Chains A and B, each alone.
Chain A
Amino acid sequence: MARLMERVHKYSRLNSLRLSLESNWEKFRFVCIDSESTGLDPRRDSLISLAGVTVTEGDICLYDEFSIVMPVAYNTSSVTVHGITREAAAEGIEEPEALLQFLDWLADGVIVGHHIQHDLTLINIACERHFGRQLKNVVVDTMESYLTVKDAGGFSNAPEDERYSLDALCDRFNITPHDRHTALGDAFLTAQILLRVLKEAGKLGMWNLEDLHAWYSDELFPYGKG
């Protein structure tokens, strides 16, 4: 347990100096993540898998990719959505170790997700449970940042009655939704949306994290102390 905590501390140290939301995002490492869980109720359900891919300087870096599966009781409906089999889940890595590997990889990157709140809540609850603390990274939700950039005059050819789900935005950006509903597949789609959002933001001179509607991951959570 002591060694586990060392790794947690390493993560905490990396994030002890919070990024200012006014800093320029151009050189930052964006960590696009997605998770799968046993259900949609953060108080009752738990993580099944965590995955992500990073975006640095406008490129999706496949060499900086993460994917992990945790063991879980095979008794919920959502596994059929995500397609993780009983066997795969049974062979997974126990939650504390999985989370630590995730934190190692996450480091001080800017977390990015589409409707990220649900994933963050689950991760925070799990981290709180095992390590007594929550994620401290800066967070950007691709839906929120898309809307912010759009409000600032970007994406001028967007349709009137636009919807903002992952599928709708993929459709809008002509991104083929491969491997939808797997954590890594969705994270990759999110990363592809992020590339477009960053490109458009850059054109409008929106170079600060704030311009992307960023916030801190340990804020705004009703379930924080579980």
Chain B
Amino acid sequence: MKGSAISVRIADFLKEYPPFQFLEIDSLRDLAAHGKVKFHEDGEIVFSQGQPRNQWLYVIQQGRVRILEESDKGELLIDMRGPGDLLGLQGIRTDEPYLYTCRTETETILYGIPRSLFVEYAEKSARARRYLAAYFSLSPAYHWNSYLSEDESPSGEEGLITLSKGGLWEVEPPQTIAKASLVTVTPEAPVRDVARQLRSKRIDCVVVVDEMGLPIGKLTDGHLRDCVVEGTIHPNSPVGELMSTRLQVANPEENIGDLLVKLTRHDTNFLIITEDGTVNSKVRGLISERNLFLQYGRFPSVIGEAIGCAPDITSLRLLRDRLEALILEFLDSRRSLIWLMEMVGVLNRKLNQRIIELVLHSMEEEGLGRPPLEFCWLMMGSGGRNELLIRSAVYHALVYEDPQPEQAEKVTKFFRKMANRVGRAIRQCGFLESPQNVLAHQPGWCLPMSAMKDKFSSFIREPVASHVYAARDAFDFQPVRDEGSFLADQLSEHINRELSINPDFIRHMASDSLLNQPPRTIFSGYVLDQEGIRRDELAIKLHALLPLVDVARVLTLESGSHQPTETFKRLDLASQRTKDPKMRNLLHEASEGFLVSQFARISQGLRSGTDGAVIHPAELEPESRTLLITTFRTILGILEVTAKRFDLKWRD
């Protein structure tokens, strides 16, 4: 099929964008020839949430469109779409009404193509199918399995779930991956039969289920092999005697990012999918790391494993370099930022753990002995908030059990030495250090429990005299290791208690958080401040991230606890707590705004090899630019509200 001049033009446009790039050019011309062209001025509704879906799928040819969620809270911005982006794709086969409202923000031209014809062509292309599966899994509105379950649920009355088509790159013919499905056995099954199944079905793991179909164990290829080598198993023994009962489960709603985080956090190769994500419901699928690995090529959990057994600091540094390359690769939207922050949080903790292990090992070898008391290494600042994606400044502290007076000197000496070495190793891994010296290798931040409590008490009771402004980041801490984490818990309790009896402290913190303000807008590559002065640099850390981090901390401390520590979670929780609908909206937008700013910072920082504290607005993608402008307004709004709430002076 040749196609008319118009459909040839449209096909040429479409083929620049996924998933159309995966379709044959003739298919694209046919789609175009059956399509239509729509024109919208700015501020027009393309379709409304709840409206029945029509037969069209829209592709933006030019212009910008806002995706909005309408609720009783008002309108929430879900996404911004530009040229090449799809509108109205949501679950291909279903005819449920539109989930969101689409409103144009500029003059917009849309290509409408018939949904049914698009599905027909997309089904024929393995890569388009996979792209769509990923599209649904990575988009906030869809769950990773929705496409599969409505599309071609594998045989079996429950519709078993496998991660068969969830990847972005074609690495194996789709049929091969699609067949890698769940195999279940009963605990009575002889090991020999199970081994046969493992071999014939070319799988790495079977799930052992009880008569109700609930998971009770798993048996992996590797475990079976070990048992054979150790001679601890007879081929006729029931698998129930051999299986591992340490199960990590996930629910069918979790997206690929969540699954990656789980695999990494639990150091496991398999996740069992059950109906409700607990072991008390039926097994519905099995996710294997290998399966995911095939989808993603390189993989964070592999780095996690490598960190755990790195022989020295140099290799740790190389691994952290690799992680940064990986972040850049995965950072394709601010949605992926959420799980990336969590993932990198897990890996940063692992890195710190390994550094501590290496340091303790070398100290022991030098005859300095083992730690005389339990201790807890605290990551503070962006590390404590799980926001340390780029190796910008670290904040940390070391707290240990109170020593007996007679051993105090020895204990102090040991932990200071340890803190010095750990601090140096972190530096060697490429991290910058807190300019306020909130660092464990500073004597003031390497303290026994009671002294650390006193330190926080004086921050809270005498904020001015104790210069709490320079130590704000210390309130965002989390322990690096599980051992000794009770010390972090004790410190948390102490802080919360102090907060409850010193309410004035919150007001002081609130006042400190008003110091940094965002610019007014970004216009043709320049940042404009309120005086209209143009700059070609945007100090995004100081003027967008910091105010949000500070306000989020104030709101969380005000609620009586310093947890959670993640800024976007703090803002979201504050949004859920408030009864004022306007405030709720503003806080939710601020949470989004944090992600927008963090996304801009991280992606530009990683690309330019800086810490991203200062970015160049001219290099921003149009979408990021627009969202940042909105974010500036949100920040101003939230600072204003904060000032009002605590009766503080704001903007002279």
- A residues touching B (Cβ–Cβ < 8 Å)? 53, 58-63, 65, 67, 174, 178-179, 182, 184-185, 188, 191-192, 195-196, 199
**Pairwise interchain contact B39-A62, C-beta atoms closer than 8 A:** no
**Pairwise interchain contact B6-A184, C-beta atoms closer than 8 A:** yes
Q: How far is the CA of A24 from the CA of B600 in the complex (A)?
A: 50
Q: B88 near A: Cβ within 8 Å?
A: no
A190 to chain B, nearest CB (A): 12
Q: How far is the CA of A78 from the CA of B34 in the complex (A)?
A: 32
Q: B4 near A: Cβ within 8 Å?
A: yes
**Pairwise interchain contact A62-B7, C-beta atoms closer than 8 A:** yes
Q: How far is the CA of A58 from the CA of B39 in the complex (A)?
A: 8
Q: Which residues of A contact B32 (CB under 8 A)?
A: 62
- Supply 12 A–B pairs (Cβ within 8 Å), ascending by A: A58-B39, A59-B37, A62-B7, A62-B35, A62-B37, A63-B34, A63-B36, A67-B5, A178-B5, A179-B5, A184-B4, A184-B6
Known: A59-B112, A174-B107, A178-B9. A65 touches B4 (CB 8 A): yes
Q: Which residues of A contact B7 (CB under 8 A)?
A: 62
- Proximity string of chain B (57-94) to chain A, C-beta cutoff 8 Å, 1 when within and 0 when not: 00000100000000000000000000000000000000
**Pairwise interchain contact B9-A179, C-beta atoms closer than 8 A:** yes
Tell me what chain A mostly uses at the interface: helix, strand, loop, or mixed: mixed
Q: B102 near A: Cβ within 8 Å?
A: no
Known: A53-B6, A179-B9, A184-B5. A61 touches B33 (CB 8 A): no
Q: Which residues of B contact A179 (CB under 8 A)?
A: 5-6, 9
Residue on B nearest A67 in the bound complex, by CB: B4
B54 to chain A, nearest CB (A): 11
Q: Which residues of A contact B35 (CB under 8 A)?
A: 62-63
Known: A184-B4, A192-B39, A199-B41. A63 touches B33 (CB 8 A): yes
Q: B307 near A: Cβ within 8 Å?
A: no
B41 to chain A, nearest CB (A): 6
Residue on A nearest B63 in the bound complex, by CB: A174
Select B5's contact among A58, A59, A174, A182, beta carbons within 8 Å.
A182
Chain B count of residues within 8 A CB distance of the other chain:
18
Known: A196-B39, A199-B39. A62 touches B107 (CB 8 A): no
Q: Which residues of B contact A61 (CB under 8 A)?
A: 36
Q: Which residues of B contact A62 (CB under 8 A)?
A: 6-7, 10, 32-37
A19 to chain B, nearest CB (A): 23
Q: B410 near A: Cβ within 8 Å?
A: no
Residue on A nearest B41 in the bound complex, by CB: A199
Residue on A nearest B8 in the bound complex, by CB: A179
Q: B38 near A: Cβ within 8 Å?
A: yes
Q: How far is the CA of A205 from the CA of B494 in the complex (A)?
A: 69
Q: Which of B520-538 contact A (CB under 8 A)?
A: none
**Pairwise interchain contact A188-B6, C-beta atoms closer than 8 A:** yes
Q: How far is the CA of A67 from the CA of B62 in the complex (A)?
A: 26
Q: Which residues of A contact B34 (CB under 8 A)?
A: 62-63
Rank and list the top 10 A-B pairs by shortest CB-CB distance, nearest first: A60-B37, A195-B39, A59-B36, A179-B5, A63-B34, A62-B35, A184-B5, A61-B36, A188-B6, A59-B38
Residue on A nearest B35 in the bound complex, by CB: A62
Residue in A62, A174, A196 with the greatest tally of chain B CB atoms within 10 Å:
A62
Known: A60-B37, A178-B5. 9 other contacts (CB 8 A): A59-B37, A60-B38, A62-B35, A63-B33, A65-B33, A174-B62, A179-B6, A195-B37, A199-B41
A45 to chain B, nearest CB (A): 23
A105 to chain B, nearest CB (A): 13
Q: Which of B367-402 contact A (CB under 8 A)?
A: none
Residue in B7, B10, B37, B38 with the greatest tally of chain A CB atoms within 10 Å:
B37
Q: Which residues of B contact A188 (CB under 8 A)?
A: 5-6
B313 to chain A, nearest CB (A): 56
A88 to chain B, nearest CB (A): 12
B164 to chain A, nearest CB (A): 35
B25 to chain A, nearest CB (A): 16
Q: How far is the CA of A191 from the CA of B6 in the complex (A)?
A: 12
Q: How far is the CA of A58 from the CA of B35 in the complex (A)?
A: 14
- Proximity string of chain B (11-52) to chain A, C-beta cutoff 8 Å, 1 when within and 0 when not: 000000000000000000000111111110100000000000
**Pairwise interchain contact B5-A60, C-beta atoms closer than 8 A:** no
Q: How far is the CA of A62 from the CA of B34 in the complex (A)?
A: 6
A55 to chain B, nearest CB (A): 9
Q: How far is the CA of A195 from the CA of B62 in the complex (A)?
A: 15
Residue on A nearest B40 in the bound complex, by CB: A199
Q: How far is the CA of A62 from the CA of B13 in the complex (A)?
A: 15
B580 to chain A, nearest CB (A): 37
- Proximity string of chain B (608-638) to chain A, C-beta cutoff 8 Å, 1 when within and 0 when not: 0000000000000000000000000000000
Q: Which of B112-130 contact A (CB under 8 A)?
A: 112
Q: Which residues of A contact B107 (CB under 8 A)?
A: 174
Q: Which residues of B contact A63 (CB under 8 A)?
A: 33-36
Select B36's contact among A60, A67, A199, beta carbons within 8 Å.
A60
**Pairwise interchain contact B38-A58, C-beta atoms closer than 8 A:** yes
